[in-house]
Amino acid sequence: MAPRTPILHPVAYFESRGFDLWPAAVAVGVATLSLTLALAGFGVLLSDKLAAAGHGDASGAVWSVLVSYLVVVVVAMVVGWLLAAGILHLLARAVVGHDGRFGETLTVVGWGTAPTLLTSLVAFVILALALDGTTLSSPEAFARQFRANVQSGSALSHALSFLVACWQTFLYGRGLAVAFDDDSGTTWLVGGVVAFGGWLLALF
């Protein structure tokens, strides 16, 4: 029986089910929603903390900024999907061959956003814990404490994102091997360049 997703068995999935774009687009949508909800949840916690401390005006300002940021996040997720697929496809065509189609690469990269469900949850926990350990005695003190608390959880975040890049290398490599009909292992190199390139960019 064919797997329902390519998360664990990409070769079996793509060979049996093909490269239908819609399930991959749903994966991107769910990943985007999870990140949006994580940030919105943090916004709720922050605004409640400000309101409880008697800073109602600041609470309203937080939502004004956060809503704009959430729009940027949604757009960035979609653009990032297309951009990563474009880079991956160009590299694969240059290194592997010309058999694969862009739509197939787009599908593979779309499924590569699936781990965002986990990273978004971890990010929310880190932000919530960082916020809980702050005081509102002054804006400067709050910013300093919050930044320090977030940095204390950065090791976990970086380790998780590294594991995600490893899994994306696996998915990209195996998925492109089917799309480009390649069994040389070169697709792993191409997938690793894109996956770990994204990981390095996320560190800065």
d(CA 30, CA 119): 13
Query: Is 6 a domain residue?
Result: no
Query: Is 12 a domain residue?
Result: no
Query: Is 3 a domain residue?
Result: no
Query: Is 159 a domain residue?
Result: yes
Give the single-character DSSP code of 184.
Answer: S
| The dihedral sign for the CA sequence 144, 59, 125, 193 | negative
- Residue range 140-189, pLDDT digits in tens: 888 899 999 999 888 888 999 999 999 999 999 999 999 999 988 899 99
- Residue range 14-47, pLDDT digits in tens: 999 999 999 999 999 999 999 999 999 999 999 8
Query: Is 150 a domain residue?
Result: yes
Query: Is 66 a domain residue?
Result: yes
- Residue range 70-79, pLDDT digits in tens: 999 999 999 9
Q: Quote the domain boundaries for residue 154.
A: 19-202
Query: Is 103 a domain residue?
Result: yes
The model carries a pTM of 0.91
* Burial class for 39, CB neighbours closer than 10 Å (0-12, 13-18, 19+): middle
Residue 11: pLDDT over 80: yes
What pLDDT sits at residue 56? Answer: 67
Query: Is 47 a domain residue?
Result: yes
Residue 10: pLDDT over 90: yes
**Tally of structural domains, the chain:** 1
